Amino acid sequence: MVEKTILVLGSKPDPILPPPLAYQELACANGSGASAFGKRLAIPAFTVMSAILGSGITSGRQTLEVLQGLQTTELYFFPRPPSAVSVGKQLTHPLQSIRTRSWYLKHRLRSLSYSYERFFDFRYSFYHDLVMNLCEQSPEVLKTIQHKQPSTGLMTVALALSRSEQVIIAGFSFELTHAYDRNPEIDERGTQISRHANTDITILRCLSRKCPQLETTEPVVAESTGIRLYNDNR
């Protein structure tokens, strides 16, 4: 029996896509479902969305808007880490605290006619443990995660690897750029580099050694992490 291959699509501009027959399932992160729809790809088998999408930040609102009327089979809510939702921050930023809850994201998606069949609302520890188990409890990975949590895209890769050893990564670049519009966070922060870049690269370097069936179509990802570059001439 041949194991299925999952394509994990990020939301970066001009993703390099493998041939349609190279994979059997599509997984998306945050707004990459809009990229998938624009490329006429299949409905995602699952999508991971960050709690920050509903927080009210400009980039979050932008991402939600492009998901209008789209769908996924399964939707995973990726919560903020405990350090980001301390009691003090809940008291000083009560509205943002409410908007980063899973029920609020569900409310926002419902208002946009975004649909899904199953919704998973796991604690942050579920995602943390998933990454650490895939990386075989690497001290380097743990130290990096403690400094900055992985991105939603990285977590989508981790979930894909928990379903299949054969995973192809496309549409990743460790930058804030979006396929559907200019990310306003670039101007707000004065840089295109994602805050998650170092964490994601560290984890993917580890996964490149632990998961030999992990591949990428993106040269920048292969060069930064050691993950094998996908070759459709096999």
Q: What is the pLDDT of residue 129?
A: 98
Q: State the Cα–Cα distance between residues 226 and 20, nearest whole angstrom.
A: 24
Q: State the Cα–Cα distance between residues 43 and 35, nearest whole angstrom.
A: 11
The pTM (predicted TM-score) of the whole model is 0.91
Whose structure tokens read 């509903």?
Answer: 54
Topology of domain 5-229, CATH: sialyltransferase cstii, chain A (3.90.1480)
Q: What is the pLDDT of residue 86?
A: 46
Domain boundaries, the chain: 5-229
Question: Which is nearest to 174 in space by CA: 204, 132, 211?
Answer: 204
- In order along its 234 residues, the chain shows pLDDT tens digits of 358 999 999 999 999 999 999 999 999 999 999 999 999 999 999 999 999 998 888 888 889 999 999 999 999 999 999 875 544 454 445 566 788 999 999 999 999 999 999 999 999 999 999 999 999 999 999 999 999 999 999 999 999 999 998 999 999 989 877 877 777 787 787 887 888 999 999 999 999 999 989 999 999 999 999 999 998 755
- pLDDT tens digits, residue range 44-94? 999 999 999 988 888 888 899 999 999 999 999 999 998 755 444 544 455
